[in-house]
Amino acid sequence: MRKYTIKEQLNSETGKQEETLFVEDILEDEVINKKVVGKIREKYNLNEELKMLRLGILDNNNVEYQTYNTHVESCRTWGNEKKVKALKEKEYWKDKYRKRDETEKEFISRLKIGRADSS
C-alpha cells in the first residue's frame, strides 16, 4: 500500500512553484521484521547472539546476557511501534488511491478536499 504527500516544488520549465505528488510505500510487517533483525545484527552477529542465548540459559542474571536482552527488546519495541504506525497509515490510505485515468493535479485536488472534509 502507498501513501501520498503533496509538496511544493519549483518547475524548472516554468520557474513557478507547483504542487507535486510524492508517493512512498507503507512498510509491511515482514519488512519491519527484517529491519528489526538488522538492528540486532548491528551489535550482535549470529554467533554472538547464540553465545548470549547460551549464557542466558545457564544464568538468566548474567550481565552480558542482560545487556544483549535489553538491546533485543529495544529493537523489538522499535519494530512494534513501526508496525502500529504502518497499520494506522494503511487504515488512513486504504480508500485513497489514484485512479487510473486521473491526472496528478486531479488527484492532488481530491486529496486536498478529503483532508478538508476530515478536519
Helices (H), the chain: 29-43, 46-58, 63-93, 104-118
pTM greater than the 0.75 cutoff? no
Q: Look up cell 509538496; give the residue.
A: 7
pLDDT at 9: 78
pLDDT at 115: 62
Nearest Cα residue to 21 out of 111, 81, 91, 88: 111
Amino acid at site 42: E
Instruction: For the chain, give every domain's residue range.
Output: 2-118
Which run of H or E residues covers position 3?
strand 2-10
pLDDT at 1: 62
pLDDT at 114: 63
pLDDT truncated to tens, each residue of the chain (119 aa)?
667 777 777 878 888 887 776 677 778 899 999 999 999 999 999 999 999 999 999 999 999 999 999 999 999 999 999 999 998 888 877 767 777 787 878 877 877 776 655 54
Nearest Cα residue to 4 out of 119, 112, 100: 112
What angle do helix axes 46-58 and 63-93 make, rounded to 10 degrees?
Answer: 120
